[in-house]
Amino acid sequence: MRDALIQAVIEVAKTDDRIWLLTGDLGYSVLEPLRDAIGCRFINAGIAEQNMTGVAAGLALAGKIVFTYSIANFPTLRCLEQIRNDVCYHNLPVKIVAVGGGLAYGSLGYTHHAVEDIAIMRSLPNMTVLAPGDPNEAKSCLRHAINCPGPTYVRLGKAGEQAIHSSIPDRIDTPIEVLSGRDITVLATGGGLSVAFQACKKLTAEGVSPRLLSVPCLHPIDLTGLCGPIVTVEDHGIGGLGSIVAEHVALTHVDAIVKCVRLHGTPTSLTGSMSQLQNAGGLSEETVIAAVNGLLSRRKYLNVA
């Protein structure tokens, strides 16, 4: 996913000299081709994310489109006020890229788990929040990030994610249908997509007909028409996709019932791979299947489609 995005940045940056990239001392064995392609528009700003983000704002004020690149929470939470005041308030085209969204950095521990980032980023003014769920979505997200005039947050996994889409989606500004189905809508984002995809395949084999929508663009979002029984799936805690859908239901008064499959939010103090920690945190194929079956059994008693 990371490599897909970097490749896409290189392609655009070759012909668009407004594009700069600042890294917070990360990108070893990843960013070299980009560095070679854009020369002095590539800067290692050092381990100094607040300054990096402020500098990005300054460059953007002068007409540049500036990527800031780091891992986990370093390009977001570490420099949150620079993002809020300098980038978002001034509505500048700074494109924040974080590698290692969710629990991708598994055993590196709590400091490297980005599980509050979506909630925090989507609450900022003018911010577009993107969380691709596969390498093809990552490419599409990059295109979207460059085209949208303001601040953008791109939350990536790491490397080696399974491709869910067979080609690059044309648009990501509305949810993308991955599987069609008539019983229930499953919405998934980021690292939740592959979990939801596997779960839906199992459900289909069991005779349930889930519709799976991928939501790479979390904010702003148009969920018009979304109703009925809904399950959300994400590698994030409070304030992410589940909250977004619950807000949609609360604000539009559509007939819907929502169950959220998300990380329960207790910081982990033990070692584990991404999927082990997801499981321990409440995100697994089983929890998705249980949520779907739970809603379908309740639907009989509820007056929803």
Partner 1 sequence: MINSVDLARTARLHAVKMVHRAKASHIGSALSMIDILAVLYSGILDTQPGRDDRDRIIVSKGHAAVGLYAILAETGFFPVEELDSYGQPGSRLLGHVSHHVPGVEVSTGSLGHGMPIACGLALAIKQCVVCIVGDGELNEGTTWESALFAGKHSLTNLTVIVDHNRLQGYGDVDEILGLGSISKKFAQFGWSTVEIDGHNHDQIRNALATNQTRPNLIIAHTVKGKGVDFMEGSLDWHYKSPNTEELANACRQLEAA
Residues that bind ligand TPP (CB under 6 A): 24-26, 47, 74, 78
Select 71 or 199, whichever has its Cβ closest to partner 1: 71
Position 304: which residue type?
A: V
Residue 169 touching partner 1 (CB under 8 A):
no
Q: Check the CA dihedral 44-46-52-55 and report its sign.
A: negative
How far apart are the C-alpha atoms of 91 and 76, rounded to whole Å?
A: 16
Select 29 or 297, whichever has its Cβ closest to ligand TPP: 29
Select 48 or 246, whichever has its Cβ closest to partner 1: 48
Nearest CA to 243 out of 267, 261, 224, 225 is that of: 261
Beta-sheet pairing, 184-188 with 228-233: parallel
Select 26 or 148, whichever has its Cβ closest to partner 1: 26
* Residue 150 interacting entry, from partner 1, ligand TPP, none, C-beta within 5 to 8 Å by type: none
Of 33, 46, 58, 125, the residue at the interface with partner 1 (CB under 8 A) is 46
Of 7, 50, 91, 174, the residue at the interface with partner 1 (CB under 8 A) is 50
Size of the site for partner 1 (CB under 8 A): 30
How far apart are the C-alpha atoms of 116 and 110, rounded to whole Å?
A: 12
Q: Take residue 182 and report the two structure tokens written for it.
A: 């008539």
How far apart are the C-alpha atoms of 135 and 199, rounded to whole Å?
A: 20
Q: Take residue 195 and report the two structure tokens written for it.
A: 């979990």
Select 24 or 169, whichever has its Cβ closest to partner 1: 24
Who's near 188: CB < 8 A, 6+ residues apart? Answer: 133, 195, 196, 197, 212, 213, 214, 215, 232, 233, 234, 241
Select 76 or 214, whichever has its Cβ closest to partner 1: 76
* Residue 50 interacting entry, from partner 1, ligand TPP, none, C-beta within 5 to 8 Å by type: partner 1
Residue 282 touching partner 1 (CB under 8 A):
no
Spell out the alpha helix ranges (H) of 44-110: 49-61, 80-81
Of 15, 28, 300, 303, the residue at the interface with partner 1 (CB under 8 A) is 28
Residue 68 touching partner 1 (CB under 8 A):
no
Position 298: which residue type?
A: R
Of 7, 44, 91, 204, the residue at the interface with partner 1 (CB under 8 A) is 44
DSSP 8-class letter at 228: E
Beta bridge partners of 213: 177, 187
Query: Which residues form the interface with partner 1 (CB under 8 A)?
Result: 23, 25-29, 31, 44, 46-48, 50-51, 72-74, 78, 105, 107-112, 269-273, 276
